[in-house]
Amino acid sequence: MSSSLPSSIKPLRSVRVPILVAAFACLMMGLVSGAALGQSLIYERQFVLIAEADNTLRMALDENDRLTVERPKFMTRPGRFEFQLPAGNHARMAAELARAALDSRTLDEDVQRRAVNELRHVSDDEISRFLELDGQRQVSTGVEVISLEPWAAQFPDDVRLAALLQLERDWYVLMNKALSGGAR
C-alpha cells in the first residue's frame, strides 16, 4: 500500500481546504500514541449534527490487539478507554477492511446519483471512516462513507454499503464487548 493518500480519495469540491497528511497524523497521535509503530486500524464515527468540536467516536486497534476508545461526552460512558483484546482481532479486522475497501468518491457519487434518480433523501449526514495506518502513521487504506446506516437501509441491494455496514458493526461489537468486560 502507498504511504500517501489513496489516489481514489479526492475532495469533491474545490472549496475544500487541502490539509496535509501530516495534519492527519498529528490528529491521530493522541489516539495511537501508546501504540507500537506498527500498523493501526482506526474507526471513526463523526456525528456532525452535534456542532461541537468533540463530536466524534474514535477507536484504534494496534498490531498488539490493544483497543483504544474515545467516546464524546454526549455518548453514554464518555471518555477514553484502553483494553487488551485477545490475539487475532487486529488481523481479522484488517482482513475485513481489505475486503470492504473501495473508492469512497465513487461510492458517494453512486449513492447520490441513485438518490436523485429515485427521489430519496437522508438528512443530517454522519461520517464513518475506516482507516489503516502504516508504521509512519500515514493512511495506507482509507474508506469514508456518508450516512452509512440509513443509506444501507435505503439501498439494501448495494453490496458495498452492506459490507461496510458489517465492518462498522464489527467495530461496535469489539467496543461493546470490551466496555462490558470492564477492563480499562
Among 112, 134, 162, 177, binds another protein (CB under 8 A): 112
Q: Figure out which of the listed residues 7, 86, 88, 121 binds another protein, where binding follows CB under 8 A.
A: 121
C-alpha angle 105/109/111, rounded to 5°?
Answer: 120
State the residue for C-alpha cell 461496510.
164
Could you tell me which stretch among 62-70, 91-99, 116-124, 156-164 binds another protein (CB under 8 A)?
Answer: 116-124
Judge contact between 148 and 169, C-beta under 8 A: no
Binder among 30, 36, 64, 73 for another protein (CB under 8 A): 73
- The distance between the two most distant Cα atoms of the chain, rounded to a whole number of Å, is 48
- Binding to another protein (CB under 8 A): which residues in 154-173? 154, 168, 172
51, 86, 88, 159: which one binds another protein (CB under 8 A): 51
Give yes or no for residue 56 binding another protein (CB under 8 A): yes
Centre a 10 Å sphere on the Cβ of residue 178 and count the other Cβ atoms it contains: 20
Select the residue interacting with another protein from 63, 81, 94, 122 (CB under 8 A): 122
- C-beta closer to another protein: residue 45 or 90: 45
**Residues 71-108: b if buried by 16+ CB within 10 A, e if exposed:** bbeeeeeeeebebebeeebbeebbebbeebbebbeebe
Closest CB 3 distance from another protein, rounded Å: 14
Cα–Cα distance list, 112 to 51, 55, 132, 146 (Å): 24, 24, 26, 10
- Strand-pairing partners, residue 62, are 40
Nearest-approach distance from CB 87 to another protein, in angstroms = 27
N residues, the chain: 184
Per-residue cell: 143: 474508506
Where in 11-40 is the site for another protein (CB under 8 A)?
Answer: 11-21, 23-24, 27-28
Q: Which residues contact another protein (rule: CB under 8 A)? A: 5, 9-21, 23-24, 27-28, 44-53, 55-56, 73-76, 78, 104-105, 108-109, 112-113, 115-116, 118-127, 129, 139, 142, 144, 146-147, 149-150, 153-154, 168, 172
